[in-house]
């Protein structure tokens, strides 16, 4: 996406250097270019997150029921957000703990099709 923005900037710079008007295809999009680039970045981030979620669930699926060391990152809509230290995974967890607290969590769900990984705090 950055290259797309660079393409328009290069055309504008070239036109200025050559003391001519920029091409209409550049000028027609210029007002909307920041919005297009931001939308593309949002989509790219969403795809990146979906791929990570899928891989985390696939790697952990055989380990449902296992316990892992973790740290509570925050409290959110679905309960806690935890960082499992090994393998490195950030996921939702049920239970009670304070932000920053080291805990043990049990993997209760790892569904690659739903791209979901879920833990319960056990200590």
51-88 pLDDT, tens digit each: 999 999 999 999 999 999 999 999 977 799 999 999 99
Mean predicted confidence (pLDDT) in 83-97:
94
- Which pLDDT score, from 0 to 100, does residue 78 have? 72
**Inter-residue contact 72 to 100 (CB < 8 Å):** yes
Mean predicted confidence (pLDDT) in 81-108:
95
- Tell which CATH architecture fits domain 32-123: Beta Barrel (2.40)
Every domain of the chain and the residues it spans: 32-123
CA distance 100 to 82: 9
Mean predicted confidence (pLDDT) in 105-119:
97
pTM: 0.71
- Statement: residue 1 has pLDDT above 70: no
- Which pLDDT score, from 0 to 100, does residue 4 have? 84
What share of the chain has pLDDT > 70, as a percent?
98
- Which pLDDT score, from 0 to 100, does residue 2 have? 67
Output the DSSP codes for the chain.
-HHHHHHHHHHHHHHHHTTSPPPHHHHHHHTTHHHHHHHHHHHHHHHHHHHHHHHHHHHHGGGTT-EEEEEEEEEETTEEEEEETTTTEEEEEES---TT-EEEEEEEEEETTTTEEEEEE--
Residue 70: strand pairing partners: 84, 103
């Amino acid at each position: 996406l950055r290259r797309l923005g660079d393409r328009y900037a290069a055309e504008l710079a070239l036109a200025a250097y050559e003391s001519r008007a920029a091409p209409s295809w550049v000028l027609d999009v210029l007002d909307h270019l920041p919005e297009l680039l931001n939308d593309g970045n949002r989509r790219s981030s969403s795809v990146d997150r979906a791929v990570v979620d899928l891989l985390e669930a696939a790697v952990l699926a055989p380990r449902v029921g296992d316990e892992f060391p973790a740290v509570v990152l925050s409290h959110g809509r679905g309960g806690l957000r935890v960082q499992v230290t090994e393998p490195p995974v950030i996921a939702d967890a049920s239970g009670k703990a304070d932000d920053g607290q080291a805990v043990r969590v049990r993997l209760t769900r790892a569904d690659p099709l739903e791209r979901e990984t879920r833990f319960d705090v056990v200590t």
